[in-house]
């Protein structure tokens, strides 16, 4: 009797877990950000929240893809390519459509020797399940687009028979919609003694600056060049998610990454910059909403 009850409980737990998985994953035909190439057939899956390993490079020595974790609403699509169209033709059409919509590339590659090699063509699949990169003429791109005022990561891989598309919609506001310039930063400093620097983008839960941060870093360099006597505190801020100790560390590490980039890549003297982090202790908005938490995750500069 006891064994029968235990067996029923085990079966109930299995069924409950299966039901939860089904609810978390939905079949979809496509996504409004990307229109399938004409003549393609297929569909995909949608998760309301998940983490995706976005391929942002390839390490040929290690023979593996370099990935950046991104989180949000994840759509994965796989389409069979028309037999009479080449990988280059299909990929070019996707890329032209993306560029017309304001696409900001992070990393792109084409063919063996750039994306993979003959013996590492399964590296993308091993990294994140993308199966399109499977031939010598495969093409790939990863980058960002604005979608409903927020930042979306887009990855497209085109192989001989298949196109794989992944879209990760984040809760991060699209800072590309904000004008970033030395003049705007200077005006903020002159008016308030401090100013938010939009456009400094980090990998999720990390102090790694993403390539799209170049516009904001250039504006900071121009500001410091135009005002040679200016010295700054670079101050990182987070939302309330996680412990205070962790957020204080993360905010300081992000500020330090900005200082390192300005010194090493933009030629600014180290003695003009001091990194600091205040974690969630100086919010701009309520941490009770997604938009509020997004506003609170930021980097500011403070005139010394």
pLDDT tens over the chain, length 304 residues: 434 433 343 334 444 444 444 345 799 989 998 999 999 999 999 998 899 999 999 999 999 999 998 888 999 999 999 999 999 999 999 999 998 888 888 899 999 999 998 889 899 999 999 999 988 999 999 998 888 777 899 999 999 999 999 999 987 654 444 557 898 899 889 988 999 998 898 887 889 898 878 889 999 999 999 999 999 999 999 999 889 999 999 999 999 999 999 999 999 999 999 999 999 999 988 888 777 788 899 999 999 9
Taking only Cα atoms into account, the Rg of the chain, rounded to an integer number of angstroms, comes to 23
Distance separating alpha carbons of residues 124 and 229, to the nearest angstrom = 48
User: In this structure, are 261 and 137 located in the same domain?
Assistant: no
**What single string gives the DSSP state of each residue in 90-120?**
HHHHHHHHHHHTT-EEEEEEESBTTTB-TT-
Tokens of 153: 């990561």
Question: Which residue range is the domain that position 287 belongs to?
Answer: 178-303
Instruction: Give the pLDDT of residue 150.
Output: 79
Flag whether 2 is in a domain: no
Distance separating alpha carbons of residues 202 and 213, to the nearest angstrom = 8
User: In this structure, are 100 and 215 located in the same domain?
Assistant: no
Distance separating alpha carbons of residues 213 and 244, to the nearest angstrom = 26
Flag whether 12 is in a domain: no
- How many structural domains is the chain composed of? 2
Place of tokens 């010598």: 136
Tokens of 111: 């063919």
CATH code for position 280? 3.30.1330.60
Burial of 290 by CB count in 10 Å (0-12 exposed, 13-18 middle, 19+ buried)? middle
User: In this structure, are 46 and 162 located in the same domain?
Assistant: yes
**What single string gives the DSSP state of each residue in the chain?**
-HHHHHHHHHHHHHHHHHHHHHHHEEEES-BTTBPPPTT-EEEEEEEEEEEEEEEEEEETTTTEEEEEEEEEEEEEEEEEPPTTS-HHHHHHHHHHHHHHTT-EEEEEEESBTTTB-TT-TTHHHHHH---S--STT-EEEEEEEEETTEEEEEEEEE-SSEEEEEEEEEEEE-GGGS---HHHHHHHHHHHSEEE-TT--B-TTS-PBPGGGHHHHHHHHHHHHHSTT--EEEEEE--SSS-HHHHHHHHHHHHHHHHHHHHHHH---GGGEEEEE-TTSS-SS-TTSHHHHHHHSEEEEEE-
Distance separating alpha carbons of residues 143 and 154, to the nearest angstrom = 5
Flag whether 41 is in a domain: yes
**Which residues does residue 108 pair with via DSSP β-bridges, in sequence order?**
141
Instruction: Give the pLDDT of residue 97.
Output: 92
Flag whether 16 is in a domain: no
pLDDT in tens, 88-100: 999 999 999 998 8
Domain boundary residue among 151, 173, 195?
173
Flag whether 7 is in a domain: no
Tokens of 195: 């100013």
Tokens of 197: 């620097």
pLDDT in tens, 120-152: 989 999 999 999 998 899 999 999 888 877 789
Flag whether 14 is in a domain: no
**Which residues does residue 195 pair with via DSSP β-bridges, in sequence order?**
301
Instruction: Give the pLDDT of residue 22.
Output: 39
Instruction: Give the pLDDT of residue 173.
Output: 53
How long is the chain?
304
Q: In what order do the strands lie in the sheet with 41-59?
A: 25-28, 41-59, 64-80, 162-173, 150-158, 139-147, 104-110
User: In this structure, are 169 and 37 located in the same domain?
Assistant: yes
Domain boundary residue among 158, 173, 188?
173
């Amino acid at each position: 009797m006891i064994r029968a009850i235990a067996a029923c409980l085990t079966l109930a737990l299995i069924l409950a877990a299966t039901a939860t998985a089904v609810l978390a994953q939905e079949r979809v035909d496509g996504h409004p950000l990307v229109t399938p190439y004409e003549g393609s057939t297929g569909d995909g899956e949608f998760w309301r929240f998940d983490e995706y390993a976005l391929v942002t490079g390839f390490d040929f020595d290690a023979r593996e893809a370099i990935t950046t974790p991104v989180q949000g609403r994840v759509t994965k699509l796989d389409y069979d390519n028309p037999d009479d169209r080449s990988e280059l033709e299909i990929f070019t059409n996707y890329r032209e459509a993306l560029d017309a919509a304001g696409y900001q590339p992070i990393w792109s590659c084409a063919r063996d020797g750039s994306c993979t090699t003959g013996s590492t063509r399964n590296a993308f699949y091993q990294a994140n399940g993308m199966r399109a990169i499977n031939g010598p003429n495969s093409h790939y791109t990863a980058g960002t687009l604005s979608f409903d005022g927020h930042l979306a990561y887009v990855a497209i891989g085109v192989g001989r028979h298949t196109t794989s598309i992944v879209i990760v919609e984040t809760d991060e506001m699209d800072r590309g919609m904000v004008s970033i310039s030395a003049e705007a930063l200077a005006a903020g400093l002159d008016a308030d003694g401090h100013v938010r620097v939009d456009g400094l983008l980090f990998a999720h839960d990390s102090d790694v600056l993403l390539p799209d941060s170049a516009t904001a870093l250039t504006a900071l360099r121009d500001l410091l060049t135009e005002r040679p006597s200016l010295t700054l505190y670079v101050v990182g801020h987070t939302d309330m998610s996680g412990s205070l100790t962790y957020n204080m560390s993360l905010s300081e590490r992000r500020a330090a990454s900005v200082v390192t980039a300005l010194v090493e890549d933009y030629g600014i003297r180290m003695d003009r910059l001091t990194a600091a982090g205040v974690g969630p202790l100086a919010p701009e908005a309520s941490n009770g909403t997604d938009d509020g938490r997004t506003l609170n995750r930021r980097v500011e500069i403070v005139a010394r």
